[in-house]
Amino acid sequence: MQLSCWPGFSCAREQRSAGPGDEQAIRELYDRYEAAVEARDVDAVMALYVPGESLVAFDAFPPRQYQGAAAYRKAYEGFFAAFPGPLTDSVIEMRITASDSLAFAHGVDRWVVTGSDGKPVEMVLRWTNGLRKVDGKWLIAHEHVSVPVDPATGQADFLSNP
């Protein structure tokens, strides 16, 4: 069998597994994410993503696709401005699969945000992230956030159970 490879990518047939601390390091990244979001610290949030134009994010909210860290940073700034009150983010479930330099994590989060009207809004979000180890540090390189759609109404179901 011939192994084809995209230019610029290593195409080893042998998959090397993650080091013993990699899964824990990735879990700690999500702990830092949760704290940064709740503190509304955009710099701390963006420090968890790859810098530059290689970041790709598909979000649950329009415009739904962001190319590059600068675009996604603006999305976070807009989200925090739209929901200026208390905000909590808690991971309901998370699974991680990692090799030596690439990982996938997916899970479900429960967010409670507060709009300018003072009313809390609860959302259950599904997410999948592709992570890369850059200079020994795990960073999110691809993010996909979604909510299920109720087929009967065509509306987003923000409180769906996974």
Q: Could you give the domains of the chain?
A: 22-156 (3.10.450.50)
pLDDT computed for residue 150 by the predictor: 85
Q: How confident is the model at residue 148 (pLDDT cuts 50, 70, 90)?
A: confident
Amino acid residing at 129:
N
Residue 5 banded pLDDT, cuts 50, 70, 90: very low
At 8, the pLDDT band (50, 70, 90 cuts) reads very low
Q: What letters, b where the CB count within 10 A reaches 16 and e where it falls short, cover 85-119?
A: eebebeeeeeebebeeeebebebbbebebeeeeee
The strand pairing partners of 118, in sequence order, are none
Q: How confident is the model at residue 17 (pLDDT cuts 50, 70, 90)?
A: low
pLDDT at 52 > cutoff 90: yes
